[in-house]
C-alpha cells in the first residue's frame, strides 16, 4: 500500500488524528511519514493494519488510500494558498481533488473524460458536493471545457488550474515495473503531443492573473522541462513561477515533476 491519510471527518479532532497517525507510523511496515500521510510497504492492507493495531471501526473509517509521492507533489505546491475557483482538469478518481478540498479550497471543479472514474470521485467525495464545495463534470482537458451553469462565479475562468497530465508514468516504476515493457518511443511522442494540447487549452481557459500547475509522474525530460520550455517560448503571457521535483529521500522511490505557470493580467 502506498499510503494512508486521514479522511475529512477525522480532522475535526486534531489530537485524536495525530495520535492515530503516531500509532500507524510505529508499525513495522511504515516506510515514511509526511504530516498526516504515511507510506507503507507494498501489499500492506488497511485490514492488516486494523488487526495489528487494534483499530476501532471509527478509526479505520477515518483512513483512506492515496499515493504517497502524489500527496507530496501536491503539498509542495501549497494548495492552501491557491486562488479560487480551482479546476482539477484531469481529476481521475479524485485523489488530488480530495487534497485540494481538504486544503479549504472552494469551489473545486473536477473533470475527467472517464465516466467510471468520475462516478467513483463523486461517490467518494459526496460530502463536499453536498455543501457546494465540489462540482463534478465530464470534459476533455484538450478541448474548451463546458463548465456547469453557475460553477464559475462572475463567468470568468478558473483562477487556479491543476493539470495532472497523462504521461508515460516512468516515475512510478518502483510501484508499477510493468510500465517499462508497455511503453514505446511512439507512446512517449503521442503523449507529448497530448500534453502540449492540454497545456495550451488549460492556459487559454485560465483567468488573467491566474496560475496553472502542470504535474507529471515521469522522468522523461521531454514531458517535463522540455514541454514547459516549448510552451513558454510560444506563449508571451506565460511566466514560469517555479518548478519542483521529488527528492531522492522519498521512501516509495517514485518521482513527480511540477511547473507553476502564471498568466499576465
Could you write out the DSSP letters of every residue in 72-88? HHHHTT-GGG--SSEEE
Confidence of residue 7 (pLDDT cuts 50, 70, 90): low
Same domain, 10 and 130: no
Q: Specify the pLDDT at position 146.
A: 94
Same domain, 48 and 113: no
When comparing pLDDT for 41 and 26, which is higher? 26
For the cut 80, the answer to whether the pLDDT of residue 243 exceeds it is yes
Outline where the chain has alpha helix (H): 14-25, 46-53, 57-61, 68-75, 95-102, 115-124, 126-130, 179-182, 185-205, 225-234
Cα(232)–Cα(61) distance, rounded to whole angstroms?
Answer: 45
Q: Specify the pLDDT at position 87.
A: 98
Q: Specify the pLDDT at position 240.
A: 98
Residue 242 falls in which region: left (phi positive, over 0), alpha (psi -120 to 50) or beta:
left
Same domain, 44 and 84: no
Confidence of residue 196 (pLDDT cuts 50, 70, 90): very high
The strand pair at 134-138 and 63-65 is best described as unpaired
pLDDT in tens, 101-156: 989 999 999 999 999 999 999 999 999 999 999 999 999 999 999 999 989 977 78
Count of structural domains, the chain: 2
Cα(165)–Cα(26) distance, rounded to whole angstroms?
Answer: 35
Q: pTM, whole model, 2 decimals?
A: 0.86
**Residue that has been written with the C-alpha cell 500527496 in this structure:** 71
Q: Specify the pLDDT at position 5.
A: 53
**Lowest mean pLDDT, pick from 54-68, 178-192, 217-231:** 54-68
Q: How many CA atoms lie within 13 A of 216 on its CB side?
A: 28
Same domain, 144 and 245: yes
Taking residues 235-253, report their average pLDDT.
Answer: 92
When comparing pLDDT for 153 and 80, which is higher? 80
Cα(258)–Cα(244) distance, rounded to whole angstroms?
Answer: 5
Same domain, 42 and 139: no
Same domain, 59 and 79: no
Domain at 247, CATH number: 3.40.50.150
Q: Specify the pLDDT at position 231.
A: 98
Could you write out the DSSP letters of every residue in 184-216? -HHHHHHHHHHHHHHHHHHHHHSPTT-EEEEEE
Catalytic positions, written as ranges: 217
Same domain, 167 and 199: yes
Task: Name the residue range of residue 171's domain.
Answer: 70-263
Residue 64 φ then ψ, to 5° = -145, 155
Taking residues 72-86, report their average pLDDT.
Answer: 96
Same domain, 160 and 240: yes
Same domain, 181 and 244: yes
For the cut 70, the answer to whether the pLDDT of residue 65 exceeds it is yes
Question: Which one-letter DSSP state was computed for residue 92?
Answer: T
Q: Specify the pLDDT at position 14.
A: 64
Confidence of residue 219 (pLDDT cuts 50, 70, 90): very high
Same domain, 55 and 131: no
Amino acid at each position: 500500500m502506498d499510503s494512508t491519510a486521514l479522511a475529512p471527518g477525522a480532522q475535526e479532532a486534531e489530537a485524536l488524528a495525530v495520535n492515530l497517525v503516531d500509532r500507524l507510523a510505529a508499525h513495522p511496515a511504515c516506510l515514511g511519514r509526511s504530516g498526516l500521510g504515511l507510506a507503507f510497504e507494498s501489499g500492506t492492507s488497511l485490514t492488516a493494519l486494523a488487526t495489528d493495531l487494534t483499530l476501532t471501526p471509527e478509526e479505520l473509517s477515518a483512513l483512506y488510500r492515496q499515493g504517497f509521492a502524489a500527496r507530496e507533489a501536491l503539498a509542495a505546491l501549497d494548495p492552501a494558498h491557491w486562488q479560487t475557483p480551482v479546476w482539477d482538469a484531469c481529476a481521475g478518481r479524485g485523489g488530488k481533488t480530495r487534497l485540494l478540498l481538504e486544503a479549504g479550497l472552494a469551489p473545486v471543479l473536477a473533470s475527467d473524460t472517464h465516466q467510471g472514474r468520475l462516478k467513483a470521485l463523486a461517490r467518494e467525495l459526496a460530502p463536499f458536493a453536498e455543501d457546494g464545495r465540489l462540482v463534478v463534470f465530464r470534459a476533455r482537458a484538450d478541448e474548451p471545457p463546458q463548465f456547469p451553469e453557475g460553477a464559475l462565479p462572475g463567468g470568468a475562468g478558473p483562477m487556479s488550474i491543476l493539470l495532472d497530465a497523462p504521461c508515460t508514468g516512468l516515475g512510478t516504476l518502483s510501484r508499477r515495473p510493468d510500465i517499462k515493457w508497455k511503453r514505446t518511443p511512439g507512446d512517449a511522442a503521442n503523449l507529448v503531443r497530448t500534453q502540449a494540447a492540454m497545456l495550451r487549452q488549460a492556459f487559454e481557459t485560465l483567468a488573467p492573473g491566474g496560475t496553472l500547475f502542470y504535474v507529471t509522474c515521469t522522468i522523461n525530460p521531454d514531458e517535463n522541462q522540455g514541454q514547459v520550455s516549448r510552451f513558454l517560448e510560444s506563449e508571451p503571457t506565460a511566466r514560469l513561477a517555479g518548478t519542483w521535483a521529488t527528492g531522492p529521500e522519498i521512501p516509495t522511490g517514485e518521482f513527480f515533476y511540477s511547473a507553476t505557470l502564471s498568466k499576465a493580467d
